[in-house]
Amino acid sequence: MKFIYNYSLIILAFASFGWLGCNDLTDLAELNKNPDAFEDVVPEYLFTNSQLIGAAFNFTNGADGQHFILAQAMQHFATHSEVRGTGDKYFNESMARSHWAIYNSSLMDNERVIQAVVDDPEKINLLSAARIWKIYMFHIVTDVHGDVPYSQALKVLDGDIRPAYDRQEDIYMNMLQELENAANAFNPALPTFGNSDLFYSGDIAKWKKFSYSLMLRLAMRLTEAKPDVAETWVKKAIAGGVIIEDSDIAKVSFEDGPIPHSRNPKAAVLLQQDYQDPQVGISNTQGGKYAETLIDHLKSTGDPRLNVIAVVWVDAPGGSGYVYDTTTVLQRGMKNGAFFGEPDDFQTYSEPHPNTILNFGSPILTMTNAETLLLLAEASLRGWYSGDAKSAYEDAVRAGMRQWALFGDEGIIAEEKIESYVARNPYLSGGSFDERLEQISTQKWVSLLLDNYEIFANWRRTNYPTLIPTNYPGNLTGGTIPRRLIIPDSEITLNEDAFYEAYNRQNVGNLLTSTVWWDPQYQR
């Protein structure tokens, strides 16, 4: 700003003495331009950036990323740290607010893409992909907060900086319709994003499957709030065609190389904040380990995924340092909310595998066939899908194990181990509705490791798997697992009328214990 101000004074001074003509002023103005910056929107570049940031959004954002909130609350991870104990010990609610920033990053980039192509019929495929991606990002925002700015949210580009809050019920109805409309609008005869599309390189057939898979996820979210609506949209999604094959997984690929932006950002931040050498499990910066709930479940079911996601660091032969060990019997999880300060046996607890979870070259999985097959199994259980629930469930288990091969050679699980697990843990065909729903939901809790938003949403909807809350001294929830994230104070300052209108309308408060509209605990 100081540079621009001084530059302007120089221009005025020269002009006042008649030393510069019109062309001279133009030339000087040209000198002030950044030759590496684009003055016009390039949809392809912005879409790539929106995908890149949105796919990993806020996994670990400084003090308050979802890894420290949701992964701990869902008892995949645990910590002995109070500072990082938002999800582990349920306090320090100010750490649960930064998810709001997606409005000013991925969503805003994607909105610029939409505005740049919306009036060009030749770019309908770009528009459709951007509309679908917009719904993916918005469903995360409303799922963690409830009523949020939606229909007016991105009008800041038109000068509207105080958007109204939409009811979550209305948001959901619009999101489902948008997914259907966008999928139907694709035209295989017209251009696509091509290689600027990190998921599918512009493959329209795969984008349609992504859209219908997201529709299936959102429709199933309404099983308790609007079961009739849920059934209608579940059937539409299935008829449209969802992700079934490994080749249709929506993922962002990365490289393990010298360029930081080419590395998996989830792995990079986990390493940076907690699991980086030379700590090797001895005194992690944020005190993080895998949670006892997760490790005990994997061990009790004989799940071979344990050995590709978890390690314990042990003394290397000859006292030359430490090496990781994936042996099943050594793996143990740390209790959630159990410690203040590092326990004496901290090194003996399991933490992420350095060559899979922490591999810079691993992908971010945004929508998988493991999830959609589990959704199909539940749809069959509810009588909304004619396919066999047992087949869908067992295919989901297989897909959920195969996907770890994408994380590196040490993520490969032998087929015989997969089939052995399926045989030892068969689908409960003769079980009650609740028993089968628990089995499906618990499998989702395992298969979607690192997709903390979706794990948190599905747990709230089904209350499965059964998680034991902590009751750490000074917690803000009365010893119950959080069910919502806090809307930031900046909204009260900058958008006060809209915030309080929604706050009073919902009558649920702005607390970690508040509920969103589709949550079965919501008071209707």
pLDDT of residue 19: 43
pLDDT of residue 261: 84
From residue 49, alpha-carbon distances to 179, 272, 396, 489 in Å are 21, 22, 31, 28
pLDDT of residue 57: 80
For the segment 142-154, what is each residue's pLDDT rounded down to a tens digit? 999 999 999 999 9
| 310 in a structural domain | yes
Mean pLDDT of 433-456: 97
Determine contact, residues 6/32, Cβ cutoff 8 Å.
no
CA–CA dist 396, 376 (Å, integer): 9
Domain boundary among 352, 386, 416: 352
Strand partners, 351: 311
Least confident range from 15-24, 293-302, 451-460, 513-522: namely: 15-24
pLDDT of residue 211: 98
Measured from the Cβ of residue 513, the count of other Cβ atoms closer than 10 Å reads 16
Phi, psi dihedrals of residue 326, rounded to the nearest 5° = -100, 5
From residue 477, alpha-carbon distances to 7, 68, 86 in Å are 55, 17, 11
- DSSP-based three-state secondary structure for 216: helix
CA–CA dist 256, 361 (Å, integer): 4
pLDDT confidence band for 391 (50 / 70 / 90): very high
pLDDT > 70? residue 463: yes
Higher pLDDT, 182 or 59: 182
pLDDT of residue 20: 43
- pTM of this structure: 0.91
| 130 in a structural domain | no
Containing structural domain, residue 298 = 262-352
pLDDT of residue 382: 98
pLDDT > 60? residue 38: no
pLDDT of residue 286: 87
Strand partners, 291: 334
| 60 in a structural domain | no
The listed range with the strongest mean pLDDT (60-74, 89-103, 203-217) is 203-217
Least confident range from 26-35, 51-60, 295-304, 371-380: namely: 26-35
Please state, for a pLDDT cut of 70, what percent of the chain lies above it. 88
Higher pLDDT, 512 or 231: 231
Determine contact, residues 340/306, Cβ cutoff 8 Å.
no
Domain boundary among 314, 331, 352: 352
pLDDT of residue 36: 52
CA–CA dist 98, 413 (Å, integer): 37
The residue ranges of DSSP E strands in 204-279, in sequence order, are 250-252
CA–CA dist 517, 136 (Å, integer): 18
| 64 in a structural domain | no
Least confident range from 34-38, 384-388, 442-446, 470-474: namely: 34-38
| 7 in a structural domain | yes
Structure tokens at 495: 């958008």
Please state, for a pLDDT cut of 90, what percent of the chain lies above it. 72
Residue whose entry in the numeric block shows the structure tokens 């295919």: 395
From the centroid of its chain, how far is CA 73? 15
| 56 in a structural domain | no
Per DSSP, 157 falls in state: G
CA–CA dist 299, 375 (Å, integer): 25
At what angle are helices 433-447 and 369-381 packed, to 10 degrees?
170
pLDDT > 50? residue 14: no
Domain boundary among 316, 335, 352: 352
pLDDT of residue 91: 81
The listed range with the strongest mean pLDDT (266-280, 353-367, 490-504) is 353-367
pLDDT confidence band for 29 (50 / 70 / 90): low
pLDDT of residue 524: 67
Least confident range from 67-71, 106-110, 155-159, 173-177: namely: 155-159
pLDDT of residue 156: 74
| 345 in a structural domain | yes
Per the prediction, the chain carries an average pLDDT of 89
pLDDT of residue 12: 35
pLDDT of residue 396: 98
Q: Is 5 exposed, middle or buried (0-12, 13-18, 19+ CB in 10 A)?
A: exposed
Least confident range from 26-40, 92-106, 154-168, 297-311: namely: 26-40
In the chain, the number of structural domains is 2
pLDDT confidence band for 35 (50 / 70 / 90): low
pLDDT > 70? residue 233: yes
pLDDT of residue 218: 98
Phi, psi dihedrals of residue 33, rounded to the nearest 5° = -85, 145
Mean pLDDT of 192-213: 98
pLDDT confidence band for 100 (50 / 70 / 90): confident
pLDDT > 50? residue 426: yes
Angle at 394 between CA 391 and CA 399, to 5 degrees: 120
| 268 in a structural domain | yes
